[in-house]
């Protein structure tokens, strides 16, 4: 089954959307038990600004200060039925991997690879082979296995004291929100669409209530749970409200979640990874089954992302005992909101 971040037919008539979660399970660990030891400079994270699952990895890499340890390659926002492409790079070739399509890294390790060609993906640069595309484990490993290469002041995004609660909250957010918007957008029946729609907004209401009196999802600092929720909410009005028919409310009409998302957007490491033009181009051009004209909406207005969120009164320490990441590198900067 194709997923939203790999090529293929997304809407299956008469069927409920089901995400294929069979990702490549190899892990990069301190002990190298899968054959891939933590080693600065050896691996390349390949992502796309458009993709919310890849956006997670880009944010966590930046918050932890892993830029020197793990290089970043970026695919363009649109692709054909074969694979994500490096059309943002000169000549359409990734300057480190020397390939035009990320599928080449998959096939270098698995010549008969039949599942989705997804991002984010980590590639072993010396061999040019994919290591893993297991996005939920990838970011947790950035926190736990790459500690030797974290920047001074890096936050603890997966603190031991809150792991059980984090796992529970992240599971609910994934099922009903992160994947829920896709279950709406790629529903093949009216019944499956309405079921997903109801679950999505019931969970958003639950999150609104949870965040009314606390600044972050779990504890009083930013954690992995906030990263995972943010990448869906930041795309909500630009894409999911209209394109995926998640139209009970816009994010801007849900006061608590709108303020929460702006709070994160204005936090170093979050908003400075977001390119709204690439996000819209991907969804409205690639998903031609949903949007056959491939016309990309001109809106929404983005200037309100920088308006005051007024959530400081809830307390909380965004980075705990740590510090904000330094300014984003020029080579990885996104267009600034005017």
Q: How far is CA 268 from the centre of its chain?
A: 16
Token pair belonging to 11: 């809407």
Annotated catalytic residue, options 43, 158, 182, 283: 182
- 5, 11, 24, 54, 128 from 114: Cα distances, Å: 15, 19, 12, 21, 18
Cα 146 from Cα 254, distance rounded (Å): 37
Q: Which residues of 264-290 are buried (b: 16+ CB within 10 A; e: fewer)?
A: bbebbbbbbbbbbebbbbbbbbbbeee
Cα 158 from Cα 141, distance rounded (Å): 10
Is 84 labeled as ligand-binding? yes
Q: Is 51 a catalytic residue?
A: yes
By C-alpha distance, which of 307, 301, 235 is closest to 274? 235
Residue with the two structure tokens 């009903």? 176
Q: Give the residue ranges of DSSP H helices in the chain.
A: 52-64, 103-109, 135-144, 163-173, 180-185, 190-210, 224-233, 255-265, 276-281
Annotated catalytic residue, options 51, 75, 184, 246: 51
Residues placed in the known binding site: 84
Catalytic residues: 51, 182
Residues placed in the known binding site for glutathione: 84
């Amino acid at each position: 089954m194709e997923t939203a971040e790999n090529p293929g037919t997304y809407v299956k008539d008469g069927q409920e959307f089901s995400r294929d979660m069979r990702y490549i399970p190899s892990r990069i660990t301190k002990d190298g038990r899968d054959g891939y030891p933590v080693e600065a400079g050896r691996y390349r994270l390949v992502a796309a600004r458009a993709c919310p699952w890849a956006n997670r990895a880009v944010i966590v890499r930046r918050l932890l200060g892993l830029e020197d340890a793990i290089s970043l390659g970026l695919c363009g926002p649109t692709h054909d039925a074969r694979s994500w492409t490096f059309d943002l790079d000169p000549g359409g070739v990734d300057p480190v991997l020397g390939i035009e399509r990320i599928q080449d890294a998959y096939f270098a390790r698995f010549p008969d690879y039949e599942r989705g060609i997804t991002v984010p993906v980590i590639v072993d640069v010396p061999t040019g082979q994919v290591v893993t595309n297991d996005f939920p484990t990838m970011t947790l490993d950035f926190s736990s296995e790459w500690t030797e290469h974290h920047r001074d002041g890096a936050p603890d995004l997966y603190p031991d004291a809150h792991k059980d609660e984090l796992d529970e909250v992240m599971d609910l957010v994934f099922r009903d929100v992160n994947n829920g918007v896709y279950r709406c957008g790629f529903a093949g029946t009216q019944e499956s669409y309405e079921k997903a729609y109801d679950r999505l907004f019931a969970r958003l209401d639950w999150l609104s209530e949870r965040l009314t009196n606390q600044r972050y999802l779990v504890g009083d600092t930013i954690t992995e749970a906030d990263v995972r929720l943010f990448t869906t909410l930041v795309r909500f009005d630009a894409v999911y409200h209209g394109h995926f028919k998640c139209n009970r409310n816009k994010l801007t009409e849900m006061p608590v979640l709108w303020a929460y998302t702006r709070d994160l957007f204005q936090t170093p490491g979050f908003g400075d990874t977001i390119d709204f033009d690439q996000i819209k181009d991907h969804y409205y051009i690639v998903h031609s089954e949903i949007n056959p004209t491939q016309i990309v909406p001109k809106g929404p207005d983005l200037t309100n992302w920088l308006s005051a969120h007024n959530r400081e009164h809830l307390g909380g320490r965004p980075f705990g005992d740590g510090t904000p990441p330094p300014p984003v590198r020029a080579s990885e900067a996104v267009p600034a909101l005017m």
